[in-house]
Amino acid sequence: MERVDIAIIGTGPAGLEAAITARIRNKKVLLIGEPDLSSKLAKAHRIDNYLGFPEIAGEDLGRHFQKHLEQIGQEITQDRITAVYSMGDYFALQGKEEIFEASSVILACGVVMEKPFPGETEYLGRGVSYCATCDAALYRGKSAVVLGYSPKEEEEAAFLAEVADKVYYVPMYKADRFPGLGDSDKIEICGEKPLEFVKEADGMVLKTASGQDLKTDGIFVLREAIAPSQLVPGLETDGSAVVCDRQMRTSMPGLFVAGDIAGAPYQYIKAAGEGNVAALSAVNYLAEQKRKAQ
Ligand SMILES: Cc1cc2nc3c(=O)[nH]c(=O)nc-3n(C[C@H](O)[C@H](O)[C@H](O)COP(=O)(O)OP(=O)(O)OC[C@H]3O[C@@H](n4cnc5c(N)ncnc54)[C@H](O)[C@@H]3O)c2cc1C
């Protein structure tokens, strides 16, 4: 895929507004996320504080957002970015099966509320992974534990089981059924509460609250969002938020943030407003880069 002007990661209100504003400013935009937008929209039964839409259900607000995207002809590229690297005058974004290139990036990925498990960050890439599709091939004939934070991850675990010998699926949400797992006899559902990841000479161990530890070759942690410090190596963060100024500029030139990832308050209208500011800042950044190159 050819390099775009602005890559936007996240399809919540922040990312969508950033995409709309960037398109209005005639930029080539890559909007990466989910066709059904954000689970935080779907979960809200009633929203009372979004300008122009009193007492609206989250799903209905999402439909208005979808319609707006369709009207301006902005498509969503369904993918999950696992890493963003600054390459000097552009950024490389690692998707599940593809690497995207962009002259600037807006992170609009929402906030990660969960703290990493002890051992998670330490062994990332050495027994811990955030992407089953990307790393499945490494587990041919091996076993893996998948911590799935939403039903969407069931399909990722099923995909992994096509290659691996054994997959332990640990649902981190409440459900009676797991239809996305399919009928593979290689998948075992475990109701254990994970506590810690430990590396041993011959693999990983998931320590659990019940003491029924799971010995495996690798542990996949499939959350809706990845902590920004892990998503963008070297980015300045403050707890779960990315440090930014009022123009939504971060410590990395050309990389902007918007929405919950930029810190509290966690609100739809604030997220959308910041998406607008981040897009305009990205537009200014691109103009400046063009001037410098002349
Ligand atoms: C139940 C509930 C009710 C709420 N009610 C209200 C309310 O009434 N009023 C209000 O103002 N706020 C409310 N909120 C808060 C509001 O949902 C958030 O502030 C808002 O959704 C933040 O928007 P965002 O775009 O920053 O992030 P999100 O909406 O979280 O969207 C982030 C998107 O990025 C995607 N993403 C994350 N990581 C990646 C990646 N690596 N690659 C690709 N995509 C990625 C996610 O899948 C998601 O689609 C509520 C929240 C919840 C959970």
Q: Where residue 149 sits, what CATH number does that domain have?
A: 3.50.50.60
Where does residue 185 rank: exposed (0-12), middle (13-18), buried (19+ CB within 10 A)?
Answer: exposed
Does residue 259 have its Cβ closer than 6 Å to ligand 1? Answer: yes
Q: How far is the CA of 52 from the centre of ligand 1 (A)?
A: 19
Strands (E), the chain: 4-9, 29-33, 76-78, 83-86, 91-94, 99-107, 128-129, 143-148, 166-171, 187-189, 194-200, 203-208, 214-216, 218-222, 237-238, 241-242, 255-257
Asked if residue 109 has its Cβ within 6 Å of ligand 1, the reply is: yes
23 domain-assigned: yes
Q: Is 268 in the pocket of ligand 1 (CB under 6 A)?
A: yes
Judge whether 257 and 248 are in contact, CB under 8 Å. Answer: yes
Cα-to-centroid distance, 261 and ligand 1 (Å): 9
**Is residue 62 lining ligand 1, measured as CB closer than 6 Å?**
no
62 within a domain of the structure (yes/no): yes
Kindly state whether residue 121 falls inside one of the protein's structural domains: no
Which of 198, 222, 246 terminates a domain? The answer is 222
Q: Is the CB of 12 under 6 A from ligand 1?
A: yes
- Do the bridges between strand 91-94 and strand 83-86 make them parallel or antiparallel, or are there none, so unpaired? antiparallel
49 alpha carbon – ligand 1 mean position (Å) = 15
Q: Which domain holds residue 42?
A: 4-113+225-293
- Please say which residue of 222, 237, 272 terminates a domain: 222
> At which of 186, 206, 222 does a domain end?
222
Cβ–Cβ under 8 Å, residues 150 and 161: no
Q: Is 224 in the pocket of ligand 1 (CB under 6 A)?
A: yes
Q: Based on the domain organization, do 157 and 230 belong to the same domain?
A: no
Q: For atom 51 of ligand 1, which residue has the closest CA?
A: 40
Q: Are residues 58 and 141 in the same domain?
A: no
pLDDT of residue 115: 85
- Residue 20: closest CA among 243, 286, 280: 280
Q: How far is the CA of 223 from the centre of ligand 1 (A)?
A: 13
Q: Both 185 and 229 in a single domain?
A: no
- Give the model's pLDDT for residue 114: 82
User: Quick one: pLDDT at residue 231?
Assistant: 93
The alpha carbon of 116 and the centre of ligand 1 are apart by a number of angstroms equal to 19
| Nearest ligand 1 atom to alpha carbon 268 | 11
206 lines ligand 1 (CB under 6 A): no
**119 pocket-lining for ligand 1 (C-beta < 6 Å):** no
Supply the residue whose CA is at minimum distance from atom 2 of ligand 1. Answer: 44
Structural domains of the chain, count:
2
Residue whose Cα lies nearest atom 5 of ligand 1: it is 44
> In this structure, are residues 7 and 32 in contact, taking their beta carbons and an 8 Å threshold?
yes
Q: Where are the beta strands (DSSP E) in 119-227?
A: 128-129, 143-148, 166-171, 187-189, 194-200, 203-208, 214-216, 218-222
List the pLDDT tens digit at each of the 294 positions of the chain. Answer: 799 999 999 999 999 999 999 999 999 999 999 999 998 998 899 999 999 999 999 999 999 999 999 999 999 999 999 999 999 999 999 998 899 999 999 999 999 888 889 999 899 989 999 988 888 999 999 999 999 999 989 999 999 999 999 999 999 999 999 999 999 999 999 999 999 999 999 999 999 999 999 999 999 999 988 889 889 999 999 988 999 999 999 999 999 999 999 999 999 999 999 999 999 999 999 999 999 999
Q: Residue 178: inside a domain, yes or no?
A: yes
Q: Is the CB of 222 under 6 A from ligand 1?
A: no
Ligand 1 binding pocket includes 272 (Cβ within 6 Å): no
Measured CA to CA, the distance from residue 135 to residue 263 in angstroms comes to: 31
CB 15 near ligand 1, within 6 Å: yes
Say what the pLDDT of residue 224 is: 83
**Domain annotation covers residue 246:** yes
Q: What is the atom index within ligand 1 of the atom nearest the CA of 46?
A: 8
- Residue 203's nearest CA partner among 291, 123, 97 is 123
Rounded distance between C-alpha atoms, residue 218 and residue 197, angstroms: 10
Q: 């490494």: which residue's tokens?
A: 138
Q: Round the CA-based radius of gyration of the chain to a whole number and report it.
A: 20
Q: Which atom of ligand 1 is nearest to the CA of 79?
A: 43
Residue 167 β-bridge partners: 144, 187
136 inside domain: yes
109 and 239 co-located in one domain: yes
**pLDDT score recorded for residue 225:** 84
Cross-strand partners of 206? 197, 214
